């Protein structure tokens, strides 16, 4: 925490919400300058709330990356939407992100209805401008202006970084001055163990094209650091719901599981700055995604 001798900074908590696959996690990683939240081309990759702490000499923005807002029916997906909406009462401002390449929504189809009743200022963050001509941008801004009283509208490319400096300035303009909420040297409050599990899950999403990734969860069973050897040994279990899904994750002769493990290990070593021995197992746990007790244990 800030000591009494330190000057106040612009600081507060900001929720990053929007439909699935619009680039929320990519933006979080861009603003942090490092990867904290996993990314894949598939929607609904993010399941938990991820906290990113953006520090500067005159600001500290605590950005909450949330699961995508979508029509949910299963306990897993209902829990994901609830995780996103539960952030709203505790924040100072909201970033509502959209994908400029998608068709314009109407009053009934826009997930903006989730924001009805909020008394927090909302910034419209229009992402993926690198993929469209500038002429496409004005109709999008005009359409969204009629849907909600946004505090500001900021076109960005989370991938390339265009517009993100302006976005940060707009965020800071909405935040109060006060002491930092976290120490300056930490980028997130999630544990390394959690991030390791997410990295493994990301590699599954990136390498398996069927719906199987949505039926997988990762549990890090043990995380043992040996400083004398400069090595971390990690044991993790990939949970699936059916035996057929287990076969797909393992692959012929174990090739897919080895590929997932190799890619995950490489990224985990970059994260921990240690040599990593990663041991993966695949286990069938029927209907885990509809088991509310188990979902609670997973933080979902």
Residue 291 has pLDDT above 80, yes or no: yes
Tokens representing 10 are: 């612009």
Residue 108 has pLDDT above 60, yes or no: no
Q: At what angle do helices 243-250 and 255-272 cross, to 10 degrees?
A: 70
Instruction: Measure the CA–CA gap between 112 and 83, rounded to whole angstroms.
Output: 16
Residue 141 has pLDDT above 50, yes or no: yes
Q: Which CATH number fits domain 192-297: 1.10.1130.10, 3.40.50.300, 3.30.300.20, 3.40.640.10?
A: 3.30.300.20
Domain layout of the chain by residue ranges: 9-178, 192-297
Query: Which three-class secondary structure state does DSSP give residue 204?
Result: helix
pLDDT at position 134 is 84
Q: Which CATH number fits domain 9-178: 3.30.530.20, 3.30.110.30, 3.30.1490.20, 3.40.50.300?
A: 3.40.50.300
Q: State pLDDT tens for residues 224-247.
A: 998 888 899 999 999 999 999 999
Provide long-range contacts, Cβ within 8 A and 24+ apart, for 111-117.
111/18, 111/19, 111/69, 111/70, 112/147, 112/148, 114/17, 114/69, 114/84, 114/85, 115/88, 115/148
Q: At what angle do helices 255-272 and 192-207 cross, to 10 degrees?
A: 140
pLDDT at position 235 is 98
In 3D space, the residue among 239, 233, 241, 299 whose CA is nearest the CA of residue 268 turns out to be 233
pTM to 2 decimals? Answer: 0.86
In this predicted model, which residue has the larger pLDDT, 136 or 196? 196
Mean pLDDT, residues 257-271 taken together: 96
DSSP state for residue 142 in the 8-state scheme? H
pLDDT at position 118 is 87
pLDDT confidence bin for 182, thresholds 50/70/90: very high
pLDDT at position 2 is 47
Residue 72 has pLDDT above 70, yes or no: no
Count helices and strands (H / E) in the chain: 8, 10
pLDDT at position 290 is 87
Tokens representing 234 are: 């990690």
Residue 73 has pLDDT above 80, yes or no: no
pLDDT confidence bin for 35, thresholds 50/70/90: very high
């Amino acid at each position: 925490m800030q000591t009494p001798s330190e000057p106040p900074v612009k600081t507060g908590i900001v929720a990053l919400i929007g439909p699935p696959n619009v680039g929320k996690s990519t933006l979080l990683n861009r603003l942090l300058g490092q990867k904290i939240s996993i990314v894949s081309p598939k929607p609904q990759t993010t399941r938990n709330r991820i906290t990113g702490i953006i520090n500067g000499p005159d600001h500290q923005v605590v950005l909450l990356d949330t699961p995508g807002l979508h029509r949910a029916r299963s306990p897993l997906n209902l829990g994901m939407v609830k995780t996103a909406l539960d952030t709203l009462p505790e924040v100072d401002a909201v970033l509502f992100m959209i994908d400029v390449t998608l068709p314009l929504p109407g009053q009934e189809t826009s997930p903006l209805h989730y924001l009805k009743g909020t008394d927090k200022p909302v910034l419209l963050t229009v992402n993926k401008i690198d993929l469209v001509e500038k002429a496409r941008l004005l109709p999008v801004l005009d359409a969204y202006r009629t849907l909600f009283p946004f505090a500001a509208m900021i076109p960005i490319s989370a991938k390339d970084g265009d517009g993100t400096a302006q976005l940060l300035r707009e965020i800071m303009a909405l935040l109060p001055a006060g002491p930092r909420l976290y120490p300056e040297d930490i980028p997130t409050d999630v544990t390394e163990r959690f991030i390791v599990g997410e990295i493994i899950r990301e590699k599954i999403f990136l390498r398996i094209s069927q719906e199987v990734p949505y039926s997988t969860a990762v549990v890090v069973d043990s995380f043992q650091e040996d400083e004398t050897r400069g090595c971390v040994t990690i044991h993790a279990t990939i949970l699936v719901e059916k035996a057929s899904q287990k076969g797909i994750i393992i692959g012929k002769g174990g090739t897919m599981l080895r590929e997932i493990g190799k890619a995950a290990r490489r990224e985990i070593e970059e994260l921990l700055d240690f040599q990593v021995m990663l041991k993966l197992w695949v286990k069938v746990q029927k209907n885990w995604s509809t088991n509310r007790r188990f979902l609670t244990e997973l933080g979902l």
